[in-house]
Amino acid sequence: NAGVMQNPRHLVRRRGQEARLRCSPMKGHSHVYWYRQLPEEGLKFMVYLQKENIIDESGMPKERFSAEFPKEGPSILRIQQVVRGDSAAYFCASSPPSGREQYFGPGTRLTVT
């Protein structure tokens, strides 16, 4: 059973471009979470999604950030018009419908130049 998959693993964008981060949960998992780790800091919750629904987006910045988890395909975290302060590691986690333990992917390291 493959773990949580994230791609790309590394992403470089210039200021003003868009960044799209993808996350495929573990098989059988229907809950997806996104977390951000700024340099030298701990992880901070961003958003919690189930298929076709955003359950909790209270950790998302109000502008430029959006997330989706469509009926088919991976979850996408989209950052529009990136700025240098968006440079961070973005981790995706998934959990099964009946469980609480979250399993983390390897992360996408975004660098904004």
Partner 1 sequence: GIQVEQSPPDLILQEGANSTLRCNFSDSVNNLQWFHQNPWGQLINLFYIPSGTKQNGRLSATTVATERYSLLYISSSQTTDSGVYFCAVERIGGSRLTFGEGTQLTVNP
Closest to 75 in 3D by CA, of 36, 97, 55, 49: 49
> In this complex, which beta carbon is closest to partner 1, that of residue 72 or of residue 101?
101
| Min CB(78)–partner 1 separation in Å | 20
* Binding footprint of partner 1 on the chain (CB under 8 A): 33, 35, 41-45, 48, 55-56, 59, 89, 91, 93, 100-104, 106-107, 109
| Min CB(81)–partner 1 separation in Å | 26
| Min CB(44)–partner 1 separation in Å | 7
Task: Give the integer Cα–Cα distance in Å for 9 and 63.
Answer: 24
> In this complex, which beta carbon is closest to partner 1, that of residue 84 or of residue 100?
100
> In this complex, which beta carbon is closest to partner 1, that of residue 25 or of residue 107?
107
